[in-house]
Amino acid sequence: GIQVEQSPPDLILQEGANSTLRCNFSDSVNNLQWFHQNPWGQLINLFYIPSGTKQNGRLSATTVATERYSLLYISSSQTTDSGVYFCAVATGANNLFFGTGTRLTVIP
């Protein structure tokens, strides 16, 4: 299957700081999603972004499909942003392959 690498694996931020999370993938994709898994284990859809740029409040994402990477930007981080951020990609039948995630801790 397709390989998905996320960096950094862990990130600790002071509240109010900005951050960039990266996702590299090994093949062409027709689906790329970013998720936030909160401390209760719930998976929250952030973006469906196989290409281009999207913004939603303090979060934005950019996928450069030709170079096989995606970036998730978090601005003015809040403690509620803590959790694990997953990138997942799919080819063909929309079966998602997940990276191992970036664990974000936001300190007050």
Residues that bind another protein (CB under 8 A): 1, 4, 30-31, 33, 35, 41-43, 45, 48, 86, 88, 90, 93-101
Which of 27, 38, 25, 49 lies closest to 83, judged by CA?
38
Taking the complex as a whole, the smallest distance from the CB of residue 68 to another protein amounts, in Å, to 18
The DSSP result for 48-59, as a single string, is E-SSEEEEETTE
Q: Is the peptide bond before 8 cis (omega within 30 degrees of 0)?
A: yes
Q: Indicate the residue among 55 and 100 with the shorter CB distance to another protein.
A: 100
Q: Indicate the residue among 30 and 80 with the shorter CB distance to another protein.
A: 30
